[in-house]
């Protein structure tokens, strides 16, 4: 594992212009360290998902550079992207399988990860019989098997209902505390961003530029009730204001 002085994940003046001429991102720089949970909020189409694709190497930026160890990068997609022909257990084992780990090791890692996300008892279920929230848990467990030092989340809970989303947020927070990874989370939900993060970055639309940065001072573990604290509301309001184009 290579640890750089600039952090576990560093974006250095990243710019992205698509072949059709759309400028998605302009000169974005920031770092995420281990033990940090950074969320990027922005209107849809502002290029925040593109940022993750660049971080993971799925896309090459047209300018700037990314510093990250891509060996065991955790990437949680918008969809659960489970393989429907595999049971929960076999889905969770997939990454370990792709990395060529022996069967015994795979089973152990999968069992641990399944337990961490609370899917015990569903190991032999196929994705078609799982709810949206459970599929997302399964997807989280799959990523957890590699204990990734850097965890990328691409609006993972956008498709589930509000209640499930809150549960999954708590789950994510718990995993973050247990694993201490460097987390980069993309969302368009302000309350999700403030609830989860140590730091919130606000991105503007087209071209995507970072317009504001907020330190979120609350201690972990954060309880669901935090959402109703005045301090939480105040911070959310400021993030919202920045999103709407005001300057802080």
Partner 1 sequence: MSLTDDRRTTGDGADLGAADDPELVHEAPAPAPPPPAWRRVAAVALPPFVLGVGILAFWYFISYGILEERRRFLLRPPHQVIDKGFLDWDAFSTILGGLWSSTKVALMGLSIAIAIGMFLAIIMSQARMAERAIFPYMVTLQAIPILAIVPLISFWFGTGQTSRVVVCVIIALFPIIVNTLFGLQSAERGAHDLFTLHHANRLTRLRKLMFPAALPAIFAGLRISAGLSVIGAVVGDFFFGRGEVGIGQLLRRYANRLEGEELLAAVIMTSALGVVVFWTFGLLQTLVIGKWHEPGSGGR
Query: Does residue 103 bind partner 1 (CB under 8 A)?
Result: no
Kindly state the number of chain residues that form the binding site for partner 1, as judged by CB under 8 A: 21
Could you tell me which of 167, 9, 25 has the C-alpha nearest to residue 73?
A: 9
Q: Which of 2, 21, 85, 102 touches partner 1 by CB under 8 A? A: 85
Of the pair 60, 215, the CB lying nearest partner 1 is at: 60
126 binds partner 1 (CB under 8 A): yes
Give yes or no for residue 159 binding partner 1 (CB under 8 A).
Answer: no
Beta bridge partners of 213: 201
Q: Which range, of 94-102, 156-164, 183-191, 208-216, touches partner 1 by CB under 8 A?
A: 94-102
**Under the criterion CB under 8 A, does residue 18 sit at the interface with partner 1?**
no
Minimum CB distance to partner 1 smaller for 11 or for 232: 11
Q: Are 76 and 154 in contact (CB under 8 A)?
A: yes
Minimum CB separation of residue 81 from partner 1 in Å reads: 4
Q: What is d(CA 137, CA 80) in angstroms, rounded to the nearest whole number?
A: 8
**Residue 14 contacts by C-beta under 8 Å, 6 or more apart in sequence?**
25, 27, 28, 29, 51, 54, 61, 63, 64, 65, 66
If the CB atoms of residues 146 and 175 are measured against partner 1, the closer one turns out to be: 146
Quick check: helix, strand or coil at residue 153?
strand
Does residue 13 bind partner 1 (CB under 8 A)?
A: no
Q: Choose which of 31, 56, 147, 240 interacts with partner 1 (CB under 8 A).
A: 56
Candidate list 57, 180, 224, 245; residue touching partner 1; CB under 8 A: 57
User: In Å, how far are 42, 144, 193, 219 from 148, measured between CA atoms?
Assistant: 25, 7, 21, 23
Cα(115)–Cα(138) distance, rounded to whole angstroms?
A: 10
Of 1 and 98, nearer to partner 1 (C-beta) is 98
Residue with smaller CB distance to partner 1, 86 or 167: 86
Burial of 120 (0-12, 13-18, 19+ CB in 10 A): exposed
Kind of pairing, strands 150-154 and 73-76? parallel
The residues that touch partner 1, with contacts defined as CB under 8 A, are 56-58, 73, 75, 77-79, 81, 83-86, 94-95, 97-99, 126-128
């Amino acid at each position: 594992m290579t640890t750089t002085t600039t952090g576990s994940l560093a974006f250095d003046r990243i710019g992205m212009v698509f072949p059709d001429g759309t400028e998605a991102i302009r000169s974005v720089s920031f770092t995420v360290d281990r033990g940090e949970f950074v969320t990027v909020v922005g209107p849809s189409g502002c290029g925040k998902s593109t940022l993750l694709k660049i971080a993971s190497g799925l896309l090459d930026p047209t300018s700037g550079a990314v510093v990250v160890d891509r060996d065991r990068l955790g990437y949680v997609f918008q969809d659960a992207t489970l393989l429907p022909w595999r049971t929960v257990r076999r889905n969770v084992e997939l990454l370990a399988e792709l990395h060529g780990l022996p069967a015994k090791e795979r089973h152990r890692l999968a069992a641990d990860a399944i337990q961490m996300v609370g899917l015990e008892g569903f190991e032999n279920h196929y994705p078609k019989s799982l709810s949206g929230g459970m599929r997302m848990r399964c997807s989280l467990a799959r990523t957890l098997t590699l204990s990734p030092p850097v965890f990328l989340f691409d609006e993972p809970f956008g498709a589930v209902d509000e209640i499930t989303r809150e549960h999954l947020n708590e789950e994510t927070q718990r995993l973050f505390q247990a694993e201490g990874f460097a987390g980069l989370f993309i969302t368009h939900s302000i309350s999700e961003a403030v609830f989860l993060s140590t730091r919130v970055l606000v991105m503007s639309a087209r071209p995507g530029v970072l317009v504001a940065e907020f330190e979120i001072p609350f201690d972990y573990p954060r309880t669901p009730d935090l959402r109703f604290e005045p301090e939480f509301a105040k911070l959310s309001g400021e993030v919202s204001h920045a999103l709407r184009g005001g300057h802080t």
